[in-house]
Amino acid sequence: MLPQAWLSRAKGNMKSALLFLYLIPALPATGQQSLPALEDGTVIDTKAEFRHDGPLRIVGRVRLKGISLDLRGPVSLAAGAVLDLEDVNIRVSDPPASANGTSGLHCEGPAKIKIYRSTMTAVGSAHPIWWLQGELTVDDFQTTNSEFHLDHVQAELENFAIFELEISHSSHVVGRHLRLVFLSTHTGDSDKIDFADIPADRPISQKLRMGSFASADLTDTLAQLFLLYVHGQSDVSLSRIGRAQLAIAPSCRGKLKLPHGRVGSAKRPVVIPKPGASDCRFRLRLEDVNADTWDVYAGGKANLTFTDSLIDELTADGHAKLTVRNSEIYADWLSLSGDAQLLVDRSTVGAQRLAKTRPDLATSQVRLNGHSQATFDRVQFDCGVMAADDSTAVIRNSVTSPKYIRRSGHATVKTAPLLPVEDFGKEISP
């Protein structure tokens, strides 16, 4: 996942003719300097503030030391690049109305990242997401509202704080003194795997087999929630998990109940989906698991009804048809695209009331795109609704009205009784 420590520390003037320090005139309004191109051989070693707006691509070997960096756009790291950050303070901002993770970092192929004594702060609604491949070394990296997702990464992490750390896809992590909100992993399409003894209220020191052939050797690591993404026909058992968020990606048909709270025991485990209730091929077996919330990412020709469930994120695309009854949808991310259809009946949608304890829910909303259709009947809203493209939203007999209803493109919004609808000229990104 995270970067690695820089073992060679330069002293005095730089001696190598291959290293260059670019000094750019300060931006007059803020005293910041424009960030130069980060190309092979670039070294910036100075106590100064830099700013970059828009996309940024990093190529070759680049070293940044002692700077403050104001990033306002996506970053891509070229395959084979080597990025060293030492004593760097990063501030990340998103352009207005940006999608989640816009100002993140994406590895174009395997690369090497080393991070020492640095910080990354998310400003406003920004949520930096780094998609990493290659090698990662971190020693003292403190972040806020950020995520690292590891795909075929060899990582050594120490004194690292982050919102979500995902370890998947043949990644191998040695971690010491980690402080995480979410420790997450994705299964493969046919994993058979057990997870046990992951508390939420105290650090652990143990070796874990993660999903999709990944592993973690953790020492003094605290994870407030264990987040598991289940794919394909994977068969997963969880026991004695202090707090879990569980994610499924169904393309099946039937009825599902996604329970909340302390679930199952060794003598009476809870199996999801319930035998005979659907043709879903994944299996979850829960024994003494504190199930916090669920994420549902439906696609294909899924045709599912959810009852008495607590759902955090809900997305549907393709020709998926979903019905949700007598449930609660936080709508951290509730998005429809393609020809997906959703009916929500006698439920709660949105959770902005929880934003003080979960800042990511401050922007909870319903987003409709493509030719999707959503009907909300007798719903208590705690968020807004945005309809774009050729989508259709029907809102009937709301217990509590949406905080706003916005429409763009050729979207259709029907409400009964009549509710105010704002028209926006720009398309809404999914």
Q: Please check the confidence at residue 291 and state whether its pLDDT lies above 80.
A: yes
Per-residue model confidence as pLDDT tens digits over 110-149: 999 999 999 999 998 899 999 999 999 999 999 999 999 9
DSSP assignment letter at 359: G
299 or 31, higher pLDDT: 299
Q: Please check the confidence at residue 19 and state whether its pLDDT lies above 80.
A: no
Q: Please check the confidence at residue 277 and state whether its pLDDT lies above 50.
A: yes
Query: Domain limits of the chain?
Result: 1-168, 311-430
Q: What value does the CA radius of gyration of the chain take, rounded to a whole number of Å?
A: 23
DSSP assignment letter at 390: T
Query: Strand locations in 144-214, DSSP E?
Result: 147-168, 172-186, 192-198, 204-209
Per-residue model confidence as pLDDT tens digits over 143-200: 999 999 999 999 999 999 999 999 999 999 999 999 999 999 999 999 999 999 999 9
For residue 426, how many other CB atoms are within 10 A of its CB? Answer: 9
Per-residue model confidence as pLDDT tens digits over 48-74: 999 999 999 999 999 999 999 999 999
Q: Please check the confidence at residue 353 and state whether its pLDDT lies above 70.
A: yes
Contact between 73 and 103 (Cβ < 8 Å): yes
DSSP assignment letter at 1: -
**Sequence-separated (6 or more) residues with CB below 8 Å from residue 300:** 251, 318, 319, 320
Distance, in Å, from the CA atom of 229 to the CA atom of 247, rounded to the nearest integer, reads: 5
**Sequence-separated (6 or more) residues with CB below 8 Å from residue 79:** 107, 108, 109, 110, 111
The pLDDT > 90 percentage for the chain reads: 85
Distance, in Å, from the CA atom of 208 to the CA atom of 218, rounded to the nearest integer, reads: 8
| 95-123 mean pLDDT | 92
| 357-368 mean pLDDT | 83
pLDDT at 429: 42
Least confident segment among 20-24, 372-376, 386-390, 412-416: 20-24
12 or 373, higher pLDDT: 373
Give residue 425's pLDDT band: very low, low, confident or very high (50, 70, 90).
low
391 or 331, higher pLDDT: 391
pLDDT at 97: 66
Task: List for the chain the helix, strand, coil content (%; round to 5).
Answer: 0, 55, 40
Distance, in Å, from the CA atom of 373 to the CA atom of 387, rounded to the nearest integer, reads: 10
Q: What is the mean pLDDT of the chain?
A: 92
Q: Please check the confidence at residue 371 and state whether its pLDDT lies above 50.
A: yes
| 8-23 mean pLDDT | 35
Give residue 30's pLDDT band: very low, low, confident or very high (50, 70, 90).
low
**Sequence-separated (6 or more) residues with CB below 8 Å from residue 180:** 161, 162, 163, 164, 165, 221, 222, 223, 224
Per-residue model confidence as pLDDT tens digits over 321-349: 999 999 999 988 899 999 999 999 999 99
pLDDT at 225: 96
Predicted TM-score (pTM) of the model is 0.87
| 294-304 mean pLDDT | 98
Token pair listed for 332: 């951290």
DSSP lists the bridge partners of residue 195 as 238
DSSP assignment letter at 354: G
Query: Which amino acid type is present at position 425?
Result: G
How many residues are listed for the chain in this entry? Answer: 430
Pairing of strands 365-368, 384-387: parallel
304 or 5, higher pLDDT: 304
